[in-house]
């Protein structure tokens, strides 16, 4: 029989009576039973402590140390690692939901720590996952919140890869994904050592690029800097839009977590946060994409006429050209430059002025050219990024208003927003950036918004977030995009975290945070393949991405920090093959989405300016705050915003019985701080 589980927390216990009635009793029951599990207890169960083990009138509670698997070994050495046990190989945040999918019939699981001690056993639940045609078992070990290294054992099956529970679990993945952006830099040499291997290339594309298609003259115009777009070495404004937009949103929402992270880049010793330094390398290039005639028109892309081979970028020497302008690219440019002006102003006011001045010129160009102008890309076989401009113009108007406060931009946005019958798209990318404009409008603290329109958009956002939660809940791997697959769908899985986290900011709900984390769980190993989809990170990551640097250098390992596109047309169609550009390419828009998702998970609760426990914000922590917290737990009232953060005293992005117990101990003087 295994070692009894040590219970250390004082919590309030929910007892369920007949007719599904429930009530809260405050008792000294030292258990880690989750609220959901307590809610599901059979009628008439009572909870009491016997020798440190939670017992009930019906036996040991599932999720505590159970005798059901007492005959099974709890030593990891007695188990072989089995690929059917699929979980986030990077790890989990302490307060987050933690689940694994087992692609087999399994009834019991055991969680052991790095010492080989069993800390939790439990029963799985079974579900059918139709897109992979599997009957899977789900192991839920969310109740374990102690930092450490763990292994999941499944009697009769095997064991998982080891993983960590740590509040900083996503710091290194965030840094590695940002390293990927640095390694995409164009017009300069780059070099890094990752896992003992050197990845580098010399300065490339130093003659960007020729102006034949914008003024009929074969002259070179400065188009240096920026990021290579994907597995190729070209640069596209429209795809930069969703990428830069996502990354600026991450900055605006999570800057307190991001700004102190060192990314080890050439600019690291200046006065600007490294994260913004990397974004500035892209916005410097974007500024060169405006026509030199002062018209505000923006070239759609800067590329070779045809895709090059699998060589390092300095060996791609074909001429590169600025293509004709398009209204979508011009609108995206205005939006990005307006966001850049806000982000850079505290660090470089002159550059911020330059960005907003460029944005105003391009926005004026849009007003002077109200039709959808598509660029003439005949003669080019590189990426089209073909799209209409209605969504791009909407985004531009929102960002211009947010940056300048000029109500003419607000009027443009509100008029444009009424055009969209569907205010929020659950599934969005570079071809439909209207969500970005809607997000800015919702998050803006400026006055003058139309209350009816604001509420309509907010309700659409909450509905979209709830839909994503429901989709993930029904999926065997908790994939937020469910059974939808297409080129680059992994990027959308990551990007949906924007909807969830912005919804959580406006209307806090633990489901939004946990589903956002489910996206990362899926991408880092809780998937059909039991593999990470990000190069250089997690379990058995991609080794042969469709990436010209990885295919053109002498390293066996691919360049690190890149999210690959993922399986399509079906869940089981991913190929880790360099030739599979359909499923295994990399792209800045997918990485930008991943960076947002990781940034959102660096710290799920910022309480630096709050007095923990002071729920009513009267500068005191007292019985009134205790009553408010209890009402929230009972569902009699709902806490949100700073009140919710102040109530979340254990920083797990939930307000539950553990918080209530901790607050009670503080008020009774049993602990001296929260």
Cis preceding-peptide flag for 307 (omega within 30 of 0): no
Model confidence at 339, pLDDT cuts 50, 70, 90, reads very high
Amino acid 543: pLDDT: 99
Catalytic residue among 228, 300, 546, 632: 546
pLDDT at 672 over 90: no
Question: Is 585 a residue of the active site?
Answer: yes
Q: Is the pLDDT of residue 610 over 90?
A: no
Q: Give CA separation, 174 vs 90, 411, 473, 600, in Å.
A: 12, 37, 26, 10
Is the pLDDT reported for residue 395 higher than 90? Answer: yes
pLDDT for res 617: 83
97, 131, 229, 576: the active-site residue: 576
Q: Which residues contact 221 (CB under 8 A, 6 or more apart)?
A: 209, 210, 211, 288, 292, 322
Identify the pLDDT of residue 319: 98
Inform me whether the pLDDT recorded for 673 exceeds 80.
no
Please give the residue that has the higher pLDDT: either 673 or 239. Answer: 239
Is 80 exceeded by the pLDDT of residue 105?
Answer: yes
The DSSP line for 421-473 is SS---SS--TT-THHHHHHHHHH---S---HHHHHHHHHHHHHHHHHHHHHHH
State the average pLDDT over residues 408-421. Answer: 98
Higher-confidence residue of 672 and 662: namely 662
Is residue 225 classed as helix, strand or coil in its secondary structure? Answer: coil
Q: How far is CA 201 from CA 260, 318, 544, 546, in A?
A: 28, 17, 19, 17
Task: Say how far apart CA 365 and CA 360 lie, in whole Å.
Answer: 9
Provide the CB-side half-sphere exposure for 307 (13 A, CA): 14
pLDDT of residue 609: 55
Helix intervals (H) in 577-622: 581-584, 588-600
Burial profile 551-561: b = 16 or more Cβ within 10 angstroms, e = fewer: bbbeeebbbbb
pTM for the full predicted model: 0.82
pLDDT, mean of residues 386-408? 99
Task: Quick: pLDDT tens for 440-457.
Answer: 999 999 999 999 999 999
- Residue 73, pLDDT score: 86
Does residue 169 surpass a pLDDT of 70? yes
Please state, in angstroms and as integers, the Cα–Cα distance from residue 69 to each residue in 3, 49, 73, 288, following that order.
12, 21, 8, 65
- Say whether 546 is catalytic: yes
Q: What digits encode the pLDDT tens for the residues 292-320? A: 999 999 999 999 999 999 999 999 999 99
Can you state the angle between helices 451-474 and 434-443, rounded to 10 degrees? 120
Cβ proximity of 652 and 165 under 8 Å: no
The answer, yes or no, to whether residue 24 has pLDDT greater than 70, is no
What is the per-residue pLDDT for 566?
99
- In which band, very low, low, confident or very high, does the pLDDT at 66 lie, cut at 50, 70 and 90? very low
* Alpha carbon separation from 640 to 307, 559, 633 (Å, rounded): 51, 42, 13
Average pLDDT of the residues in 178-188? 99
How many other C-beta atoms can be found within 10 angstroms of the C-beta atom of residue 147?
A: 12
Q: What is the dihedral of CA 585, 588, 591, 597, to 10 degrees?
A: -140
Note the pLDDT tens digit of each residue in 544-569: 999 999 999 999 999 999 999 999 99
Residue 57: exposed, middle, or buried by beta-carbon count in 10 A (0-12, 13-18, 19+)? exposed
At residue 127, the 3 state secondary structure works out as strand
Residue 442 has a pLDDT of: 99
Are 262 and 611 in contact by the 8 Å Cβ rule? The answer is no
pLDDT reported for residue 645 = 78
Average pLDDT over residues 633-652: 79
The mean of the pLDDT values for the chain is 89
pLDDT at 26: 33
State yes or no: pLDDT of 487 exceeds 80.
Answer: yes
3-state secondary structure of 159: strand
Tell me: the pLDDT tens digits for 196-206? 999 999 999 99
Tokens 């489910």 found at: 518
pLDDT beyond 80 at 28: no
Residue 223: predicted pLDDT: 98
Cis peptide before 569 (omega within 30 of 0): yes
pLDDT value, residue 648: 85
CB 495 within 8 A of CB 591: no
Domains of the chain: 76-165 (2.60.40.10), 170-600 (1.50.10.10), 608-673 (1.10.1330.10)
Calculate mean pLDDT across residues 399-423: 98
Better pLDDT: 376 or 43: 376
22-44: average pLDDT: 33
Residue tagged active-site, from 232, 389, 511, 518:
232
Proportion of the chain above pLDDT 70, given as a percent: 88
Residue 233, token pair as written in the block: 């070495």
- Of the candidates 402, 585, 603, 652, the residue annotated as catalytic is 585
- Mean pLDDT, range 475-495, rounded to an integer: 99
Least confident of 154-158, 343-347, 661-665: 661-665
Cα gap 223→234, rounded to integer Å: 11
Mean pLDDT (whole number) for 480-494? 99
Whether residue 56 has pLDDT greater than 50: no
The proportion of the chain whose per-residue pLDDT surpasses 90, expressed as a percent, equals 81
DSSP at 319: -
pLDDT (tens digit per residue) in 318-333? 999 999 999 999 999 9
Residue 256 annotated among the catalytic residues of the structure: no
What pLDDT, on the 0 to 100 scale, is given for residue 184? 99
pLDDT band at 71 (very low <50, low <70, confident <90, very high): low
In a 10 Å sphere around its CB, with 0-12 CB exposed, 13-18 middle and 19+ buried, how is residue 146 labelled? Answer: exposed
């Amino acid at each position: 029989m295994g070692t009894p589980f040590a219970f250390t927390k004082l919590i309030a216990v929910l007892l369920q009576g007949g007719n599904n009635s429930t009530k809260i009793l405050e008792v000294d029951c030292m258990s880690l039973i989750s609220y959901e599990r307590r809610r599901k207890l059979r009628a008439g169960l009572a909870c009491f402590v016997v020798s440190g083990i939670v017992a009930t009138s019906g036996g040991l509670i599932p999720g505590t140390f159970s005798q059901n698997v007492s005959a099974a070994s709890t030593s990891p050495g007695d188990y072989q690692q089995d690929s059917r046990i699929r979980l986030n190989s990077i790890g989990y945040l302490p307060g987050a939901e933690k689940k694994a999918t087992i692609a087999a019939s399994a009834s019991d699981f055991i969680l052991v720590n790095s010492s080989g001690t069993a800390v939790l056993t439990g029963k799985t639940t079974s579900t059918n996952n139709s897109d992979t045609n599997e009957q899977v078992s789900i192991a839920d070990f969310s109740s374990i919140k102690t930092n450490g290294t763990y292994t999941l054992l499944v009697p009769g099956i095997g064991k998982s890869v080891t993983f960590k529970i740590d509040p900083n679990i996503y710091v290194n993945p965030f840094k590695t994904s940002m390293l990927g952006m640095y390694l995409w830099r164009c017009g300069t040499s780059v070099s890094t050592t990752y896992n003992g291997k050197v990845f580098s290339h010399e300065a490339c594309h130093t003659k960007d690029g020729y102006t034949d298609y914008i003024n009929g003259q074969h002259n070179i115009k400065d188009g240096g800097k920026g990021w290579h777009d994907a597995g190729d070495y070209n640069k596209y404004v429209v795809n930069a839009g969703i990428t830069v937009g996502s990354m600026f949103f991450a900055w605006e929402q999570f800057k307190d977590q991001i700004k102190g992270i060192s990314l080890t880049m050439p600019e690291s010793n200046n006065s600007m946060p490294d994260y913004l330094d990397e974004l500035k390398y892209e916005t410097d290039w974007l500024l060169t994409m405006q026509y030199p005639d002062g018209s505000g028109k923006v070239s759609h892309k800067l590329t070779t006429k045809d895709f090059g081979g699998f060589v390092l970028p300095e060996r791609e020497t074909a001429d590169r050209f600025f293509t004709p302008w398009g209204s979508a690219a011009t609108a995206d440019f205005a939006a990005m430059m307006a966001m850049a002006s806000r982000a850079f102003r505290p660090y470089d006011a002159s550059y911020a002025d330059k960005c907003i001045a460029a944005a105003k010129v391009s926005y004026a160009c849009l007003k002077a050219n109200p039709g959808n102008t598509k660029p003439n890309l005949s003669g080019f076989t590189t990426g089209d990024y073909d799209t209409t401009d209605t969504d791009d113009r909407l985004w531009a108007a929102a960002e211009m208003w947010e940056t300048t406060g000029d109500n003419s931009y607000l009027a443009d946005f509100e008029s444009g927003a009424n055009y969209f019958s569907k205010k929020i798209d659950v599934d969005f990318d570079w071809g439909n950036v209207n969500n970005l404009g809607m997000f800015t409008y919702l998050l803006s603290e400026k006055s003058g918004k139309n209350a009816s329109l604001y509420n309509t958009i907010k309700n659409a956002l909450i509905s979209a977030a709830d839909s994503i939660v429901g989709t993930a809940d029904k999926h065997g791997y908790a994939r937020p995009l469910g059974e939808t697959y297409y080129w680059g769908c992994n990027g959308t899985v990551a990007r949906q975290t924007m909807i969830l986290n912005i919804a959580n900011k406006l209307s806090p709900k633990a489901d939004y945070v946990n589903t956002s984390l489910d996206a990362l769980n899926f991408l880092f190993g809780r998937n059909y393949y039991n593999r990470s989809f990000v190069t250089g990170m997690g379990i058995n990551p991609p080794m042969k991405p469709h990436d010209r640097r990885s295919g053109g250098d002498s390293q066996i390992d691919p360049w690190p920090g890149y999210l690959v596109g993922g399986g399509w047309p079906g869940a089981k169609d991913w190929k880790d093959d360099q030739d599979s550009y359909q499923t295994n390419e990399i792209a800045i828009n997918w990485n930008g989405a991943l960076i947002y998702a990781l940034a959102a998970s660096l710290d799920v609760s910022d309480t630096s300016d709050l007095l923990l426990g002071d729920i009513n914000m009267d500068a005191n922590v007292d019985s009134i705050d205790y009553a408010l917290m209890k009402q929230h737990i009972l569902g009699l009232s709902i806490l949100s915003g700073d009140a919710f953060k102040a109530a979340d005293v254990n920083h797990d992005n939930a307000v539950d019985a553990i918080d209530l117990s901790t607050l009670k101990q503080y008020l009774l003087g049993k602990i001296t701080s929260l």
